[in-house]
Amino acid sequence: MDKNEIYKTLDKLSSKKSIKYAVYLSSIVVFIAIILLPPIIGIILKWNLMGQIFEQPQLLDRALNAVYASFGVAFLVSTIDVLTGLPFAWLITRGKYRILGVLDTLADMPFIVPTTALGYSLMLFWSTPQGVSQLFNTESLVSPGWLLVILLHFVFSYPVVVRVLVGALMDYRMEYEEAARTLGAAPFTADRTVTLPIIKSSIIAAFTLAFARSISETGATMMVAGTFENGAIFIKNMKLQNNYGPMVFVSFVLIAISATIFAVIRILGTKFKLPIRRVWPNAERKLSSKGIANFRNTISIIIFFSLVIIPSIFVAFPAVSAVFTDTLMDAFAGRRVWADFWQSIGLSYGVGALATVINVIIGLPMAVLIARKTLGRSTANIFDILTDIPIIIPSTALGASLSIFWKESFAFLPEIWPLIFAHLAITYPYYVKSMAAAIQRISIEYEEAARTLGARPFTVFRTIIFPLTKYSLFAGAIMIFTRSVSETGATVAVVEQLRTAPVLLVKWIPKNGAPELPATSLDVALGCGFLIVLSFVILLILRLVVGGERKG
């Protein structure tokens, strides 16, 4: 069958009502069965233990403080992320230099570094004499504690925010801004009153993703938290004591509050209007000057490198010196701890690629359903919130749930399946969110116009939605892939034999003394270095292949 015939067949199928509903319903079923349920099964099964905590007032106090800490950090971090990510995304998309494409790819870096290694890297950078402290003549510039947690969370959600916002700005039609300019608006005014409101849904999506990720991350947070305890760390501590009641309680509270916040954002988000009626022509004109723009860009780049990129790959710096030692030879020859390394890299990329392909397919109808309210407004709202859940759940609780679901109930499955399913669950929200926001941005008119011109639903998708959201689709795919390649916490929980690269690296990193596997710090550096460089090259190639058409 040639391409046109396939299109025709799909077209015919897509215009049947029954098929349409079948597609949406099956995407809902798939979502509930393999994305939503496995991560929360633990809470459901251990629900009756929840009351335990109320008999221990001190523990309850501690739990509530931890919850406050979680939301405080999440709120602060997501706000800073959006405030700093937006100018950076702007610079990447509007800048005239080709080199900015490299910056764009570099921004994915903290996403590629396995989260635990990221925590380790930040700690080396900020809190040890080998790091930035050298420059300031102290032992530890930022000691483990809440500030370092904030720095860490800022770093690992930064790529998400940038990715979503770059996607939004790429898909944005410059004509709106140009119209504003010809009407007399200074660049700053045009951006503030026209561009930002139009990409609002993506800003909200970025904020939400950063927020959710901050609530749930555990592995790296533990490494840098010192005595600071947030919800996720509390859960981990309870797990270590096999104290399931408080663990279920806090997991539930975190999910419930986050879901409520997201619901409020979702409902108010459309009503909430950015303040655009008042304009201060003179002040805004000054803010539009070249000098201010250059200043803003410079600050963005400085923040990007000094707070995000360098700290997150700091762990790999010693890899350079590994070139002159036996470690490099060991690595290539697969000696010592390196025996499993290359295999684990292969496994990581394989799982990442598979998770990407599967999620792009099963997540698309869900994104359409949310963006276009195909099955009604409330269905859309409900699923919009439900799809966030897998990333709100603290990784320890997630790991515990996934392991109950997959290891206990589906013990007969080869381990590769739980591994893939776990990754699907964790990455699904990133893609659905960014895609739904992108679809929402394109006016339904184009679709309607195409429909009235005789295009059937599939053709509408192929010729209208796809071309207009291509960049966001690509951005979503990158998020799935990078998140999957770096995922650690939940992976450890569901697999025993199989080791993805991050899992292996975690075993190399020293925790309270010696690492699990006899690796040197040079091994860790080189291992992280390989992972980062390889992933970076893959992303760069992908970008060259797919994204050859940056907006002039």
Provide the binding-site residues for another protein, judged by CB under 8 A.
173, 175-176, 178-187, 189, 193-194, 197-198, 200, 273, 276-277, 279-282, 443-445, 552
User: For residues 17 and 277, which CB has a smaller minimum distance to another protein in the complex?
Assistant: 277
Minimum distance, C-beta of residue 103 to another protein, in the bound complex (Å): 22
Can you state the angle between helices 146-171 and 466-486, rounded to 10 degrees?
Answer: 160
Instruction: Give residue for tokens 């979502």.
Output: 31
Minimum distance, C-beta of residue 85 to another protein, in the bound complex (Å): 22
Distances (CA, A) of 148 to 151, 155, 208, 222, 278: 5, 10, 21, 11, 39
User: For residues 286 and 511, which CB has a smaller minimum distance to another protein in the complex?
Assistant: 286
User: For residues 173 and 470, which CB has a smaller minimum distance to another protein in the complex?
Assistant: 173
User: For residues 57 and 548, which CB has a smaller minimum distance to another protein in the complex?
Assistant: 548
Look up residue 551 and give its two tokens.
Answer: 């907006």
From the list 349, 374, 375, 312, the residue with the least C-alpha distance to 480 is 349
Minimum distance, C-beta of residue 281 to another protein, in the bound complex (Å): 4
User: For residues 160 and 170, which CB has a smaller minimum distance to another protein in the complex?
Assistant: 170
Minimum distance, C-beta of residue 432 to another protein, in the bound complex (Å): 23
User: For residues 192 and 499, which CB has a smaller minimum distance to another protein in the complex?
Assistant: 192
User: For residues 194 and 539, which CB has a smaller minimum distance to another protein in the complex?
Assistant: 194
From the list 260, 267, 457, the residue with the least C-alpha distance to 377 is 267
Minimum distance, C-beta of residue 444 to another protein, in the bound complex (Å): 7
User: For residues 180 and 528, which CB has a smaller minimum distance to another protein in the complex?
Assistant: 180
C-alpha to C-alpha distance for 287 and 504, rounded to whole angstroms? 49
Q: Which residues contact 293 (CB under 8 A, 6 or more apart)?
A: 187
Question: Are residues 427 and 352 in contact, defined by beta-carbon separation less than 8 angstroms?
Answer: no
User: For residues 414 and 552, which CB has a smaller minimum distance to another protein in the complex?
Assistant: 552
Minimum distance, C-beta of residue 551 to another protein, in the bound complex (Å): 12
User: For residues 2 and 175, which CB has a smaller minimum distance to another protein in the complex?
Assistant: 175
What three-state secondary structure class fits 510? coil
Q: How far apart are the first and last CA of the chain?
A: 37
C-alpha to C-alpha distance for 412 and 4, rounded to whole angstroms? 42
Distances (CA, A) of 17 to 13, 14, 20, 23, 380: 9, 8, 5, 10, 19
From the list 157, 142, 280, the residue with the least C-alpha distance to 213 is 157
Minimum distance, C-beta of residue 276 to another protein, in the bound complex (Å): 8
C-alpha to C-alpha distance for 359 and 346, rounded to whole angstroms? 20
Minimum distance, C-beta of residue 96 to another protein, in the bound complex (Å): 12
Q: Where are the alpha helices (DSSP H) in 46-192?
A: 57-94, 99-106, 109-112, 115-127, 146-171, 174-182, 187-190
Over the Cα atoms of the chain, what is R_g? 24
User: For residues 3 and 277, which CB has a smaller minimum distance to another protein in the complex?
Assistant: 277
What three-state secondary structure class fits 521? helix
Minimum distance, C-beta of residue 443 to another protein, in the bound complex (Å): 6
What three-state secondary structure class fits 172? coil
Question: Are residues 490 and 426 in contact, defined by beta-carbon separation less than 8 angstroms?
Answer: yes
Q: Which residues contact 29 (CB under 8 A, 6 or more apart)?
A: none
Sign of CA dihedral 470, 476, 477, 482: positive
Minimum distance, C-beta of residue 550 to another protein, in the bound complex (Å): 13
Question: Are residues 105 and 535 in contact, defined by beta-carbon separation less than 8 angstroms?
Answer: no
Question: Are residues 152 and 224 in contact, defined by beta-carbon separation less than 8 angstroms?
Answer: yes
Minimum distance, C-beta of residue 440 to another protein, in the bound complex (Å): 11
Look up residue 490 and give its two tokens.
Answer: 């939940």
Minimum distance, C-beta of residue 197 to another protein, in the bound complex (Å): 5
Minimum distance, C-beta of residue 273 to another protein, in the bound complex (Å): 8
User: For residues 101 and 226, which CB has a smaller minimum distance to another protein in the complex?
Assistant: 101
User: For residues 201 and 251, which CB has a smaller minimum distance to another protein in the complex?
Assistant: 201
DSSP 350-362: HHHHHHHHHHHHH
